[in-house]
Structure 1
Amino acid sequence: MNFELTKEQQMIKKSASDFAKSKLEPIAYDDDRSGAYPDSAVSEMAKNDFLGMRISSEWNGVGADFTSMVLMAEAFGKANAAAAAIAITHNVMAADPIQKYGTQDQKSRYLPLLQSGQKLGGFAVAEPGAALASGPDKVTAKKEGDSYVLTGKKTFVYNGGVADLYLVIAQTKEEAGQKGISVFLVDGAQVKTVNKIDKLGLRAFPTAELEFDHAKAELLGKEEDGPEITADIQAKADIAFAAMAAGIGDAMLEDSAMHCKTRIQFGAPIGRLQAVQWLLAEIASQVHLLRLMAYQGAACADTGGNYVEEAAYVKMHAMKAGVDAGMNAVQIHGGMGYSREGKIERYFRDIRGAFLIENAVDYPQRTIAGSLLK
């Protein structure tokens, strides 16, 4: 696979990197400590067209390919992972599916508002205490006239409690179980935030439990198209979050390399010690793996390849690579790697949170094996 970037991709990469360094990195520490939603940073994203990355120029968006989206996710992840997660959710898990599966009317009503930042997109799939479409609080959809109403609860909703428009996975055909699910668009005003979830990492990335009490909803796509649409959304999100993790890993690698050069023990920099060199090399290889997997998945999405299968490889291996990189970075920094006064412990917490997207436990293995056994 050729990963040579086009001129447009190079421009987007530089633009995203410059923006992240100037607008996102300076607030990352304080946002992590407070856990507050970075509304001013999100407004700046909108002003600089980062909330319309995948939206067509027909709706005033950038119309960028998925590789460009991944480059943005990586640049944002390096500077401020929580802000990156907000942008990924909005672009990949809300705007992109509406553009791909929505009616012309839905596109014309929602995409310009999502592009401008007047509406922030969120994604709701997980349900409290049970697998999707199986527990007592499962979200069900009933048709009433020309629209639908949703009842039930969702947990760990991405951009939960702050989004203006949610993509919600709900059951429309109860006897079909998880195969009888559909995707809906729900206005944020129709939803009650039951609990804002305080997390170990990505603390300024809002996640919440939401309650739907006869909430009015619009169908996205067709009834019972939910499994296909959900798999599509989650595959692209897996790839984008892997790119975000590569960005976090790159920040860890740079800090670790500098520490190896400047930390003096026994009269010499610790980078002279073979054991430390090996740890540094491990981090570099793990970050390289994350980046390659994200770029490969994005290239498949752009060229009509099987990016769902690529995302399964990401799901199987990227989390371990990211967490191992974090462990090695903490080890290199010693006690300061465990201290909240430095950046490494935040990177470690954030990179673990990059892979929490709701999927069936056996999704990667089942997807890969199914492809091989066709």
Structure 2
Amino acid sequence: MRAQGWPAERTGVMADVGLGAVFAATLAFWAFLIARSWGGDYWRFGCAAGAVVCVIALARRRDRTWAAVAGLAVAVAAVLVARLAHLPSEPGPAMALGLSVLVGSAVRALPAPSACAVAAGGCAVVAGSLLTAHASSSGVPSVTALNGTGWLAGLAIGLCLRLLSARRRSVAEKVRRDERLQLARELHDVVAHHITGIVLQTQATRLLARKRPETVDGSLADIEAAGSDALAAMRRVVGLLRDADDAAPVAPGPERLSDLVERFGGHGPAVCLRLPDGEDESVWPPEVAGTVYRVVQESLTNISRHARHARSVTVSVARDREAVVVEVVDDASPAPARRHHRGGYGLVGMRERLEALGGTLCAGPRPEAGWSVLATLPLPARTRR
């Protein structure tokens, strides 16, 4: 962690060193001008007040709020003293530069109310500079123009950096949100499917234990196999949290649809699987193959949960030149629970997967009987033929 933070820390130190050199050069130049035009020791007060603000600006990272308040307070005091003692106009160039740094730093990093308060204070100092300003042929006193320019520059730079930081945070949060959604979808799609199968097989085994005890061993073997599949699926999901090079592929390909249908048919209604004639599914992009599998898997899981009275299920996968179309239909009679299921997380996850790839999803009751899930997934141009 220290190795990662060191470059940024070193950059900040180097920036402050360069800023300190600019402050020192500005103070020296201002002292020379005052001594040349006013004579005597008139330069001492302005340079001392400017040096204080510059030092505060260099220490701003310790506490940006108090640094800004202290810098503005010194500036106000300098304006009042210069007015009462008839000294050269304040704030001078060095102080104006320090105030610009303080205002920009506050606007960039402080909460909105505090940032607005500091910006307003800087504007008040610009207006107060009129108290010590000397007449100018252009109509705008030079000290006011100088401080106004510095204030505007600090405000503009601070706002730009604030917006950039907000944008970076927004992008980072979106990435984290997408990763959480992906993990949630994988947990729902992969694990819930296998757990549902285990629960259904366990229920069936309890019935067999009373009626045909001799078949219990086979049912327990099926439950053990389903548990092993669930464990393997969980390992694939955990792979999402690891580096891409280390993680096992999460989404199995469409060539395993037959295995999926076979497992479902062992404890659910009969399933008829229709695949494209002569289609080599291995040429499909992995994201398309995985999405096809997940749509079928989620649809069969929903049938297990919400359409136990279904007698048959048809899974059709078709492909034309531009898209793959997946349809899963059952013949279960309508039920209130089934009608309200359309808002579940499974359908949300399927829709998110499909929309991410430019596809569409339609799910709902069929006119005659049963439920239909129809997914259309466009193929990338490179795979079309």
Q: TM-score range by the shorter chain?
A: under 0.3
Q: With CA pairs under 8 Å and 6+ residues apart, which has the higher RCO, 1 or 2?
A: 1
Per the normalisation by structure 2, the TM-score is: 0.24
Name the structure with the higher helix share: 2
Per the normalisation by structure 1, the TM-score is: 0.24
Give the structure with higher Rg (CA): 2
